[in-house]
Amino acid sequence: MPKKLVSRRVPLDLAQGLVSAENIVSYPPGVPILIKGFLIRKEDIDYIREVKRAGGIIIARDMSLREVEVLRPP
């Protein structure tokens, strides 16, 4: 029987090196920055911050982007 993966919320600053449990998209142009199941890199976090600074919209569970949903190892 496969193990159930559990997620948790962590501050964006602490998400580097963890696996995303949510999709985070920048708009415009509507391109995913983070995709469920992919490793969160420093470059991803920096890009999210740059989009926000430039006035772009980030579509995520926590629209303030204080926290992101990541997978917790079984």
Higher pLDDT, 71 or 27: 71
| Cβ atoms of residues 70 and 21 within 8 Å | yes
Kind and range of the H or E run holding 13: none
pTM for the predicted model, two decimal places = 0.85
16 pLDDT exceeds 90? yes
How would residue 18 be classed by pLDDT, with cut points 50, 70 and 90?
Answer: very high
Name the token pair of 14: 């602490």
Q: What is the pLDDT of residue 67?
A: 95
Write out the CATH class of domain 6-72: alpha beta
Per-residue pLDDT tens digits for 38-73: 999 999 999 999 998 999 899 999 988 899 999 986
Of 58, 24, 29, which Cα lies nearest the Cα of 41?
24
